[in-house]
Structure 1
Amino acid sequence: MPTQPADLASATASNARSGSADPAAALRLPHIESTADPALEQKLMLRLTPPDHGQHALGRLEELVLQLARIQSARPLPFDLLVFDSPQVVVFAADHGIADEGVSAFPQTKTREHVLHMLQGTALINNLAELHGFDLTVVDAGVASHVTLPENTKPRVPLLVRKIGYGTRNMVLSPAMSVTQAVSALHAGMDVMRHLPGNVVALADVGVGNTSCASQLLSRLCGVPLADACGRDQKPDDNLIQNKLDVLFAAASRHRKATSPLEALAALGGFEVAMMTGAMLQAASERRVVLVDGFVAGAAALVARGLQPNVADYLIYAHRSVEPGHRLMLIHLQAKPLLDMELRVGQGTGALLAWPLLLTAQSLLEQRRANTV
């Protein structure tokens, strides 16, 4: 059964009191260790190099093995093999006030529809999660309405209601959320992660209008021109794209002083972006492998890296989506995605399509160990 949302008014008032004059001071970031380990890398390179081949014969698969090994090397015993335990996929859902400006080809009600499909087990991500043995959790970070299944319908996956608000405000007219709300969303994402088992998590999103947030955060935090950062929707239309750009320019101008990661997140982001950011930070602090799904999840990674740079060691970028801004985002993140299949579906699909590569890395390391014993 889904958990019930807290009283939003009392929660906001409580946060305002605890935040005093500076709500950002209420943010509590977890400690994240760097995974740098040159000695481990040297040891594994000797094991990975195939007979009669030169170094780096395995190319980027070698890079993946080394990153995974570094993440899992902090054990009482010396690192030997990769272990993946109880993998999780978490989809954060929220709506965006900027959708009122016609920036999306879809009505805002689509967010709720997508969530209902996942809860009923009929979405593509449900199939992939079952195929690959992932537990799926859906988090209501700020859907614009109550999410309830039809009467006598039992949810196939859990819904966690961590609603900060019923959608963000329209960033053209005001900040998308207050700093207090942004901090609350970050903490909520950390809390969600603390209560999930396993050492692998795939993080994804659903929300009409969220590519507008991702474009804004890419532009603001990386200095990418907004026209280049602006992604296309699933039904490209010249008039729609031009309107979206005009709207985003207006919002960017209004919030031009929001330059720090937290300020930019509050002014230009979304509740699901903030919660994914918190989830990434918490997962990294627990030395979990973090699979980052697409463009919007990448925006959360930008904010997370801005708040805690060491989080980058734990993030594996699953794929490059068809969004033009996603390519630029990955360049600025200095990240190489595992796949490029021109996906535009979201909801963690790309992350789970990339999962077999992690299983291959695990198997390869095990086989090479057997061959070198």
Structure 2
Amino acid sequence: MKAINPQALHAAQERQSQLTKPMGSLGRLEDIAIWFAGRSGNAIPKRLQAAICVFAADHGVAAEGVSAFPAEVTAQMVTNFMHGGAAISVLARENQISLSIVDVGVKSDYPTPSNSVHGKLFRSPVCAGTANLRVTAAMSEAQMHKAWQIGVGSAMHGAELGKNLLIGGEMGIANTTSAAALICALTDAAPEDIVGLGTGIQATAHAHKIQVVKDALQRARAAGAVSAHDWLREVGGLEIAALAGFYTAAAEAGIPVLLDGFITTAAALVAVRANPAVGDWLLASHASQEQGHRRALAALDLTPVLDLGLRLGEASGAALALPIIQSALTLHREMATFTEAGVAAGAM
């Protein structure tokens, strides 16, 4: 794992103290600029060249009625991504961020668009979605490993393209159930404190969803789940496994990661529990309205940049936060120092 550069951190802190403003007056923007300096090894980090990878897969637990939408929506949304009509398609286009959609296990068939200008589609399904995690392990060891490696390959592709920020997104009907089970397992939280409304289910369905997660956790513990990889195999999703591999490979390559919402944070929790050094390369874009997201962020010791009541996923929150992060780096890079501007510095 690449180490954070302490000299670059110190130099960035020194620069912040010399810019024409009261020290600390730009709040989190100053911290963000210093954070990127330490990870880029450059006291004045370059402009971010970001890549978004949205991993899509279906979940067998959808059969339990834990989502307000049918499972077919996963495939339909992949088509929507490629036609440019999804929120992340719009935000990627608006902010000129490259967008890739990676099918790691979409169950329903869908057409492959030709020459889409809205993103690149990579079809590499491990299988037709996971099994029902309430009654059996979601994935086999081989399936989990293959999905993880697809995520690794996606991160390496971003590195080869010279990207210096990687953003993971997800699409998978019922994946908030899987993410909630993982967060409960890896933080010892009660399902009542973590399981949220997902796509907008009603109170009766919410109570049922909590029970499904309780049953899944009990079953997986009885099956011997202990490690992060055990829990990922038992109650995770193919897209969550791919995200965990994506984050791990990014950290190993020394590329910062901007997390999105509830599901991506569950994947990050898996990656960090498996390799704690991954945590040094994670930045949280926003706090989701989905119940349990703040608990997961706290477990990772992350403070979100935004809090807008979002719960869409797809990497939409990360895409919205990126312009603020770019602004933090531009201010750090382009503001004059007191000496350069001929302005008297304040007393320290």
Task: With the length of structure 1 as denominator, give the TM-score of the two structures.
Answer: 0.85
Residue of structure 2 equivalent to 1:34: 3
1:117 aligns with 2:80: yes
Letter in 1 for 2:2: E
Aligned pairs (5 A) from 1:8-87: 32-35=1-4, 37=6, 39-49=7-17, 50-51=19-20, 53=22, 55-73=23-41, 79-84=42-47, 86-87=49-50
Cα RMSD of the aligned pairs, angstroms, is 1.7
CA contact (8 A) 2:58 2:107 kept: yes
SS of the aligned residue for 2:326 comes to helix
Aligned pairs (5 A) from 1:103-114: 103-114=66-77
| 2-structure distance, mates of 1:167, 1:173 | 15
Are the structure 2 counterparts of residues 158 and 42 from structure 1 closer, same or farther at C-alpha, using a change threshold of 3 Å?
closer
- Residue from 56, 59, 84 that aligns with 1:93: 56
| 1-structure distance, mates of 2:79, 2:96 | 21
1:305 aligns with 2:266: no
1:144 aligns with 2:99: no
Residue 372 of structure 1: CA displacement?
Answer: 4.9
- Residue from 301, 306, 310 that aligns with 1:343: 310
Residue of structure 2 equivalent to 1:160: 122
Letter in 2 for 1:281: T
Aligned pairs (5 A) from 1:281-292: 281-292=248-259
Taking only the aligned residue pairs, the percentage that are identical comes to 32
| 2-structure distance, mates of 1:66, 1:272 | 32
Residue of structure 2 equivalent to 1:248: 213
Residue of structure 1 equivalent to 2:261: 294
1:264 aligns with 2:264: no
Unmatched segments (≥5 aa) in structure 1: 1-31, 74-78
SS of the aligned residue for 1:137 comes to strand
Residue 43 of structure 1: CA displacement?
Answer: 2.3
CA contact (8 A) 2:147 2:238 kept: yes
1:324 aligns with 2:296: no
CA contact (8 A) 1:92 1:272 kept: yes
Letter in 2 for 1:161: R
Letter in 2 for 1:171: L
CA contact (8 A) 1:290 1:316 kept: yes
| 2-structure distance, mates of 1:363, 1:85 | 10
1:128 aligns with 2:95: no
Letter in 2 for 1:241: H
Paired residues, number? 333
CA contact (8 A) 1:330 1:336 kept: yes
Comparing 106-115 with 359-368, which one deviates more in the overlay?
359-368
Residue 123 of structure 1: CA displacement?
Answer: 1.3
Are the structure 2 counterparts of residues 95 and 200 from structure 1 closer, same or farther at C-alpha, using a change threshold of 3 Å?
same
CA contact (8 A) 1:283 1:289 kept: yes
- Residue from 187, 190, 193 that aligns with 1:225: 190
Residue 61 of structure 1: CA displacement?
Answer: 1.7
Residue 370 of structure 1: CA displacement?
Answer: 5.5
| 2-structure distance, mates of 1:60, 1:52 | 14
1:169 aligns with 2:131: yes
Unmatched segments (≥5 aa) in structure 2: 341-348
Residue 33 of structure 1: CA displacement?
Answer: 2.2
Residue of structure 2 equivalent to 1:187: 149
| 1-structure distance, mates of 2:177, 2:20 | 49
Task: With the length of structure 2 as denominator, give the TM-score of the two structures.
Answer: 0.91
Letter in 2 for 1:155: S
